[in-house]
Amino acid sequence: MPYAGAVNLLRLHARPNVPTVDFADRPSLRGVMRGILGAALALAGPALVVVSIGARHIEWPLVTLVLTLWAAWSFYDGLYSTVVEPLSRFVTNAFTGGAMPDGTRITIDQETAMLERLLNADPPPLPHRVLLAGIRLAEIYRTHQHDTAKAEALIGRLLERYPEAPELQHVRPR
C-alpha cells in the first residue's frame, strides 16, 4: 500500500518537506468540469447582483455570461451522462468482457464441480482443454481445499494420460 502522507527527504525526524498525492481519490473529468463551471457561476452570479445594484440597471452582458455558464453546465452534464458514460461502458465491456450480473457469479465449489465434470466427460474434450481444466482443478485442490495429495494425484493422472503435454512441464517444481 503506498504511503499517503508527506515525506522528509532531508533529515531524520524532521518535518515533512515533500507532499505526496494520493491518486486513489482523484476527481473524475465530470467533477473537474462541474467544479470549473460551478466556480465561474459562483463568481458571475454575485457579480451580476453587485454590479446591477451599483449601476441601478441590469447589466445584460453579465446576465448573458451567467446564462451561458449555466447552459454550458447543463450541456456538458447532459452530454457526459448520455454519450460519454455509455460509450466508455461499452468500450470497457468490449475489452474486459463486462461485469457479471448480480446473482450470476459462480462459487469455488461450483467451479470445482464443473472442472471435475469436464475431466470425467465421455467423450473427453480436446486435450488442451482437459489439461487446462486439470491444472486449474489441481490448484483449487491445493489452495482452497488444502489437499496437496489430491492435487498431486490429479497431476499424476494428467501426466500418465498426456505425457508429452507442454502445459504440464511447468506444473511441478523441479
pTM of the entire predicted model:
0.45
Phi-psi map region of 13: left, alpha, beta (phi>0 left; psi -120 to 50 alpha): left
DSSP string, 101-170: PTT-PPPHHHHHHHHHHHHT-SS---HHHHHHHHHHHHHHHHHTS--HHHHHHHHHHHHHH-TT-GGGGG
Note down pLDDT in tens along the chain; length 174 residues.
454 555 555 666 666 666 666 666 677 888 888 899 999 999 999 999 999 999 999 989 999 999 999 999 999 989 998 998 899 889 988 888 877 777 777 889 999 999 999 998 888 888 889 999 999 999 999 999 999 999 999 999 999 998 888 888 887 654
Q: Cell 481519490 belongs to which residue?
A: 25
Amino acid type, 10: L
Omega of the bond leading into 123 within 30 degrees of 0 (cis): yes
Distance CA 21, CA 118 (A): 49
Distance CA 155, CA 84 (A): 49
Distance CA 18, CA 25 (A): 19
- Burial class of residue 106 (count of CB atoms within 10 Å of its CB; 0-12, 13-18, 19+): exposed
